[in-house]
Homo-oligomer: A and B are copies of this chain.
């Protein structure tokens, strides 16, 4: 539980952080959607704002006047409970509302929240505000990776910012952490904030395993490429092999081979690949194939959680072998918030940890991220188990 005052600070600081991410953009960059999974930045700015308006201000703040009644249509994402919404693939077709108007909307709603929580509110409303803040933090990571995709997909390869170093190195020696067979407790275990999908702490029985204390590096991944692994069907899932061939995948996302050397698009523009940095922008399919090639495997999310205290993490979201499924006794929240997690629990893989793009105070060792196995635009990475 967070006191209202510090909660309000947390709110304001989060709102500013979203805008700081967009600071280097041209207005045009806010608008486009090159692929369906990548939303226009102005949509993220509007959608995170709409969440506060729709779930807090409109139902609870009596004197609040809605900013624009069309916005609940434009900025709803997947909340079927809350009426019609713009189809996800159409977000990049909307030039209006303008970026200027979206910022005005943000300011208006931020002021509304400030005023409303200037007075003490119920615990339930504080909880809603906290969810809204974490919802916006979650979108901050998408905002950054979507911006990277929008610019990295442009043939001009424009620089995003010279201040964001998306390829930090892990300098410690690679080693194996031995974990004993037995019962481990899994799931959230404090009063601090977490999502519903982390709740229902429960026992899991693990067989003995060894987990690497270091992420797989670019240099190691280049060996995999050079061994012809993208042409060897026996290393891949059947669906992974189809994906490799249909998309003509030959290297991680953003990589370009120029005169025999590997370069990649980064936040600071096109750079030579640093072999010491952990590999990123790889799919689950590629992570799995890499592990197969090494004669090892990926950890399950339980192995990761049980072992995580013994190695550093936080630079790359790490693919696990686990499918995204409900914990025993999982309880979906009521109403629209119940649409947050449960309805995605099929055909997705769990990722654990966090990445260079994760906002502060947003992750924890029980956090369960999830994506479809072919997606690569997040700062994903890979840790081996044997």
Closest beta carbon of chain B to A335's beta carbon, Å = 9
Complexed CA–CA distance, A344 and B237 (Å): 6
Identify which of B28, B98, B202, B238 contacts A95 (C-beta below 8 A): B28
Closest beta carbon of chain B to A330's beta carbon, Å = 8
A325 contacts the other chain (CB 8 A): yes
The answer to whether B32 touches A92, judged by C-beta atoms less than 8 angstroms apart, is yes
Complexed CA–CA distance, A206 and B329 (Å): 11
Closest beta carbon of chain B to A58's beta carbon, Å = 19
A233 contacts the other chain (CB 8 A): yes
A158 contacts the other chain (CB 8 A): yes
Per-residue B-contact encoding for A183-215, CB less than 8 Å = 1, 0 else: 100000000000000000011111101000000
Per-residue B-contact encoding for A214-254, CB less than 8 Å = 1, 0 else: 00000000000000000001101111110000000000000
Complexed CA–CA distance, A322 and B322 (Å): 10
Which B residues are in CB contact (< 8 Å) with A343? 236-238, 241
Q: Which residues of A66-107 have CB atoms within 8 Å of chain B's CB atoms?
A: 70, 73-74, 78, 80-81, 86, 90, 92-99
The answer to whether B346 touches A96, judged by C-beta atoms less than 8 angstroms apart, is no
Complexed CA–CA distance, A28 and B346 (Å): 37
Q: Given A70-B156, A202-B207, A237-B344 in contact, is the A95-B150 Cβ separation under 8 Å?
A: yes
A2 contacts the other chain (CB 8 A): no
The answer to whether B154 touches A29, judged by C-beta atoms less than 8 angstroms apart, is no
A260 contacts the other chain (CB 8 A): no
Closest beta carbon of chain B to A179's beta carbon, Å = 12
A161 contacts the other chain (CB 8 A): no
Per-residue B-contact encoding for A43-83, CB less than 8 Å = 1, 0 else: 00000000000000000000000000010011000101100
Known: A93-B154, A207-B328. 12 other contacts (CB 8 A): A28-B30, A28-B31, A28-B99, A30-B95, A73-B155, A86-B155, A204-B205, A205-B205, A236-B343, A238-B344, A323-B325, A346-B373
4 nearest CB pairs, A to B = A323-B323, A34-B93, A28-B95, A205-B205
